[in-house]
Structure 1
């Protein structure tokens, strides 16, 4: 009987971009169920429960705003923001994307290692765990989005710009970027256990090398091109456009960027499908 079994992730696992989309569609019900379970497990046992999903972004926003706008006296620029509250809105808009990125990427190295029982189940589609991470992160981002809307109304005394409906278009390439990174890092985490420690430092470094606490215009021109190599730079800029400034995104650049991120996600899916054949042996 043992000779007839196919190891999870064997050569028969499809790894094309089409297969990536089909796997997500065919397993959509399972992904939704696992996402709900993942969200519930985060706050299970805590006294405040799901209320932490609102308190966490508010606490981080309050700390960052106080330190950077009151202690360091930073402003976003004369044309966009001059008061601490304006700075807070610009900061929070950038935090939407970065928090989603950081939370998902930090979880990636231990994603497969923490569920060895699923690895040895031949019928379980391991690749969908990346979609569960994305779904859980998007839930938190959605909560933060509504918090931002309330803060905007209180600060500005007016309704948000209509361009907020365009936010999904600016978040789509970020989701594809994170999806590819989760597949790559989760597979590497099986073979290289130290990758989890390294990723934590890289995420922290990315936070300060992204225009989260400052606008791109504050970066010296000689280094500005290097900052644009960071995908989060573009995402944060376009997110602030549609949420705070009230401008439409640069559609041409956004379309090209989304295509590049789709190719990156496809490469991550291919990597995961080609490396997963050894997961059962290692775990």
Structure 2
């Protein structure tokens, strides 16, 4: 049931090495190197803050949390989700040469892209947390919960990457569809707005989005001193979703591997 994930774990040193190689390749020849991983997301945070707080004048404190800090926290979580999702879904198609010409354990490729995205994420996360300490003038033991939500996001993205990578390898149209869905999810996930602004069935539907669990978990940890164990039903739902994605990803890979190897 979990054959490809056992392979990922067994080849974890290879996954780590390949993720670092991806980082070196991405920033090779640049003056700032991996610091470019900070420049783009920080500029995007600044733009969103300006649009909503200065331009539209709707950037008010959220349950006592300063809007700019609340916004930055949600965006940091989303940047990791978006980058890892986008790269992992293309992990087979983008490595066609490697897959065709070498006896390579291709099942590990989604994990390589998720880990690469996580390493970049850690640089941004560390920077934001340092800024938060000075901006909020406080720190809490609940901040350690971010390690749990990072692990939860990592596992979710491994599962999603394992599901989508074989499908994208078979059809480029499916990759285009996912790109569109990611844009939709960005606006429908409570990143720029609070889920408490809506009520009833619509709020329930928004909370079914597993990415909301991660984004809200970041904010609960930093601003609201709320433990994930305080909403056990939601936590159980999230991990059931992850489990299902793992099972489906393993099934699709084994079923579709001969097909996408021929097509690529």
Q: Given the two structures, how large is their TM-score scaled by the length of structure 1?
A: 0.85
Tell whether the 8 Å contact from 1:183 to 1:268 is kept in structure 2 after alignment: yes
Higher helix share: 2
Bigger CA radius of gyration? 1
Work out whether 1:107 is the aligned partner of 2:107.
no
Correspondent of 1:69 among 46, 53, 58: 53
CA offset at residue 205 of structure 1?
0.9
Q: How many pairs align?
A: 262
CA offset at residue 78 of structure 1?
5.6
CA offset at residue 195 of structure 1?
2.1
Work out whether 1:193 is the aligned partner of 2:172.
yes
Tell whether the 8 Å contact from 2:142 to 2:226 is kept in structure 1 after alignment: yes
Gaps of 5+ in 1: 1-15
Aligned mates of 2:92, 2:68 — CA distance in 1: 37
Cα separation, partners in 2 of 1:195 and 1:264, compared to 1, 3 Å: same
Work out whether 1:140 is the aligned partner of 2:120.
yes
Aligned pairs for 1:73-222 within 5 A: 73-75=57-59, 77=61, 79-81=63-65, 86-121=66-101, 123-158=103-138, 160-222=139-201
CA offset at residue 100 of structure 1?
1.3
Work out whether 1:282 is the aligned partner of 2:234.
no
Tell whether the 8 Å contact from 1:76 to 1:214 is kept in structure 2 after alignment: no
Tell me the C-alpha RMSD between the 2 structures: 1.9
Gaps of 5+ in 2: none
* Bigger relative contact order, structure 1 or 2 (CA pairs below 8 A, ≥6 apart): 1
Tell whether the 8 Å contact from 1:111 to 1:186 is kept in structure 2 after alignment: yes
Q: Given the two structures, how large is their TM-score scaled by the length of structure 2?
A: 0.91
- CA shift digits 1:55-107 (9 cap, x unpaired): 122111111111111112224556323xxxx2121112111221111112222
Tell whether the 8 Å contact from 2:62 to 2:194 is kept in structure 1 after alignment: no
Cα separation, partners in 2 of 1:279 and 1:165, compared to 1, 3 Å: same
Aligned mates of 2:257, 2:183 — CA distance in 1: 28
Aligned mates of 2:257, 2:60 — CA distance in 1: 45
Aligned residue for 1:194, secondary structure, equals helix
CA offset at residue 198 of structure 1?
1.8
